[in-house]
Amino acid sequence: MANERTNIRLSRRRLLGSIAPAAVGAAATAARARAVEPSAAAPPAVRLGIIGLDTSHATAFTRLFNVADDPQHVAGCRVVAAHPHGSPAIESSRSRIPEITRAVETLGVEIIDGIGPLLGRVDAVLLETNDGGPHLEQAAAVLRAGKPLFIDKPVAATLADAVAIYRLAADLNVPLFSSSALRFAAATQAVRAGSIGEVTGCDTWSPCGLEPSHADLFWYGIHGCESLFTVMGPACVSVVRTGTADFDHVAGVWGDGRIGTFRGIRRGAGGYGGTAFGARGTAPVGTFDGYRPLVVAIAAFMQTREPPVPASETLALYAFMEAADESRRRGGGPVQLADVLARAEAAATRRLAEQLP
């Protein structure tokens, strides 16, 4: 039964071969990725539920949606309920639950004990659990209920679970997307939209704290890697990683010969940034413009049910980060993304068999 219910496969060909590198900067792709403000004639506010009150994102997103007189307010959605429990295995997250729960309550959110009861009160869900480990189980409950779902970074703690989540969403025909806030920064989106012509390469950097239960770059390096893929597109084919206790350097080769790199920083001045190289010049990318641009994208997604980031691009990004771990295990040797995706797809089938009765 599990095989029948998970028949849709996100194949390596679909993930890496179906999007031509030349189309990365095309207007159609850029339009999909840009956040669009909800129109004044939008339908009544979408009732949102939050799973996981163990990250500051839960408070920040709720404030942007719920406080109408906030200058940064985003219309179209309202957070009405939240299930607080998310990351029992990570103390730095678990310890924040009481504080964040109190904060969202003051913003008019009902606290619900259990995901099932939460789903009965909302139209759509923000999965904010800081730990990607339980995301597959939590996302499966939401997707089976047919609720549109935004998953905050990381999608999951492993590439296999990320593939399983997206495969289940496709099988059930439920809209889903995930992204770091850095994807929607104005400078990064301008380059994606063609401000410097065809992107010929890109170097990004960000903090890169590690969490042992996750693939190394999933935990915090995701931010700089997301900026890299926003402007380079998904067609990376191989990765080489050089790392020390304090720094990582990950170089990817794209199918058309372009090179993109990510520098992960764990010592000294960090911050977020990067440089994109293009046919008509260079431009800064990778800055953090706050949470509002992402929240605007979430609101548009919840109203239209159209994901602003294709599943294939997100999974190629996570395959890049997984391949970086494999390169480290090989002493810095090159790793093909197609190989790590093949292993993840097989593991995803097993994971879904565990999740589906």
- Within 8 A by CB and 6+ apart from 41, the residues are none
Q: Which residues of the chain have pLDDT under 50?
A: 1-39
Count Cβ atoms below 10 Å from residue 330 Cβ, excluding itself. 12
Tokens of residue 100, six digits: 């964040």
| Euclidean distance between CA atoms 5 and 180, whole angstroms | 30
Question: What is the pLDDT, as a whole number, of residue 6?
Answer: 38
**CB atoms closer than 10 angstroms to residue 181:** 23
At residue 21, the pLDDT reads 36
- Among residues 36, 9, 24, the alpha carbon closest in space to that of 313 is found at 24
CA–CA dist 231, 317 (Å, integer): 12
- Which pLDDT score is estimated for 48? 98
Query: Pairing between strand 46-51 and 124-127?
Result: parallel
Per the structure block, which two tokens stand in for 192?
């994606």
- Phi-psi region at 271: left, alpha or beta (left = phi > 0; alpha = psi -120 to 50): left
3-state secondary structure of 336: strand
Could you give the CA distance from residue 151 to residue 94 in angstroms, rounded to a whole number? 18
CA 181 to chain centre: 9
DSSP 8-state secondary structure symbol assigned to residue 132: S
The residue whose two tokens read 């995803």 is 348
Q: How much is the pLDDT for 43? A: 65
Question: Counting beta carbons within 10 angstroms of the beta carbon of residue 226, is it exposed (0 to 12), middle (13 to 18) or buried (19 or more)?
Answer: buried
Host H or E run for residue 289: none
Tokens of 279: 């046919």
Q: Is 193:25 a contact under the CB 8 Å cutoff?
A: yes
Question: In DSSP terms, which residues pair with 178 in a beta bridge?
Answer: 151
Q: In the prediction, which pLDDT does 23 show?
A: 35
CATH class of 35-182+291-309: alpha beta
Q: What is the pTM of this model?
A: 0.87
What is the C-alpha to C-alpha distance for residues 320 and 130, in angstroms, rounded to an integer?
21
Q: What are phi and psi of 312, to 5 degrees?
A: -60, -35
Q: Do the Cβ atoms of 97 and 90 come closer than 8 Å?
A: no
Is the Cβ–Cβ distance between 57 and 152 less than 8 Å?
yes
Query: Is the separation of the CB atoms in 78 and 46 below 8 Å?
Result: yes
